[in-house]
Structure 1
Amino acid sequence: MKKHFFAAVMAAFCGFAGFSQGITTANEFFKEVSDKYASFKDYSATVDITVDKKDMSATVLYLAPDKMRMDFSEPASQTIVYDGKKLICYLPENTSVLTQESANTNPATAEGLSLLRRYYSVSYEESQAVVPLEDGSDEKVVKLIFWRRTASESFRYLKISVDPNTKLIRRIVAVTPGGTTYQFDFKNYEINQGITEKRFQYDIPSGANSIDNFLYSD
């Protein structure tokens, strides 16, 4: 479950690297939004995460080209930091720190997006029409769906909802082959605030149990 959760987080931020204004094809729409995110120097947003019936909330920070941080309010003190070289995940419920050396993997970047394009095919979920975010919602989005090309990928498919006016990603839903669903809802974007690299420095709490290379080893 933990591996799938952190893979879902990475997929969410890889997805941030791009989507487009869908005038014709889904690939064109994907590229437009991609170009929008590629133009950001930094951003922050709030994100509500649902894993099946478990709810979580966090603030996310991004600094181009490859830094990401999530500070959780629920569960309190949980932290995920990627400084461009190492992924650090602090889990306060069992005082554990999971780390992954990933110098050749840059989530939330153009490289991450290229991996998404390579391993998943994109189409509109139903059509390029603007539709409600969910049943009964007044919020309108364009919905894309990404299907894995091979059975080796972590997710069977991902659905991504994009605001048609701002071209910002509103929701990402990732579903594993076993049927576990991860949903990320992004709100309250603030773009190009002047976030500095200091925000991505993280001191691991003393006494925490450390588990290295928890996603994969060299």
Structure 2
Amino acid sequence: MIKKLLTTAAFALTTFAAHADGLKDLEQFLRDVNSAQASFTQVVTSPKRTGETVARSKTSSGRFEFLRPNRFRFEYTKPFEQTIVADGQTLWLYDVDLNQVTARKQQEVLGSTPAALIAAGTDMRALSEVFELQAAPAQDGLEWLEARPRNKDGQLQSVRVGFRQGQLAVLEIADSLGQRSVLTFGQWQDNVALKAERFRFTPPAGADVIRP
């Protein structure tokens, strides 16, 4: 009887561990979610300067959408309006207050960024060539994985991705300067009907367009 109970408990723990795995959640997310839209809140915390007792932080919020492969849109609405659009070829950044647009080749700037974890293709193997991926302990009701870029030359140090019941919930981003950015997603909707035209960006009339 005791042996049977132990065997049952071991099986239950094994089944739970197999399910509770951020890597498996990421693999399922890449495979099953072709598009999504959500609200987000972003808190950016800078390292404390000499003499400071509390780290400085800034909070912003807005809407987020993506469509595989390699298309996404961040629309910041508070405290300042800013739009970031990736159309598959070009990454556009529009600062409303400055009426300024910065355009960069998407392939050159998004290879090992958090956006690549979310909106790239569905190939887990290709993603593993860019990031070192490993499951992290469950915390705060979420299943976590940690991604570290294999190319150590960039500013990105690590990304922690949190899933709640297979749904993307949190991104925690740390850079080499000690800055930490946490994006929390809400009102998440999977596989919504988004078209590629949604991710096309035309600079507003009169805006300064910078192409570094």
Q: Same fold (TM over 0.5)?
A: yes
Aligned-partner Cα distance in 1 for 2:16–2:146? 13
Paired AA for residue 203 in structure 1: T
Aligned to 1:92: 96
RMSD of aligned C-alpha atoms?
2.9
Alpha carbons 1:45, 1:60 under 8 Å: kept:
yes
- Offset of residue 98 of structure 1: 0.8
1:162 equivalenced with 2:163 (yes/no): yes
Q: Deviations over 1:174-198 (max 9, x none)?
A: 1111101111111111122211223
The match for 1:137 is: none
Report the CA distance between 1:113 and its aligned residue.
Answer: 6.1
Name structure 1 gaps, 5 residues minimum.
1-20, 133-139, 214-218
1:143 alignment counterpart: 144
Q: Percent identity?
A: 18
Bigger radius of gyration among the two: 2
Contact 1:22–1:29 (8 Å) recurs in 2: no
Residue 58 (structure 2) aligns with: 54
Counterparts of 1:113 and 1:184, CA distance in 2: 22
Superposition pairs of residues 116-127 of structure 1, within 5 angstroms? 116-125=127-136, 127=137
Give the TM-score normalised by structure 2.
0.72
Q: Deviation digits for residues 30-87 of structure 1, max 9, x if unmatched?
A: 1442233332232101111122111111211112222211112114431111111111
Give structure 2 stretches of 5+ with no counterpart. Answer: 1-14, 46-56
Q: What secondary structure sits across from 1:37 in the alignment?
A: helix
Task: State TM-score, norm by structure 1.
Answer: 0.70
Structure 1 position 169, deviation (Å): 1.7
1:143 is matched by which residue type in structure 2? Answer: W
CA distance in 2, matches of 1:211, 1:68: 20
How many residue pairs get matched? 180
Deviates most, 112-121 or 72-81: 112-121
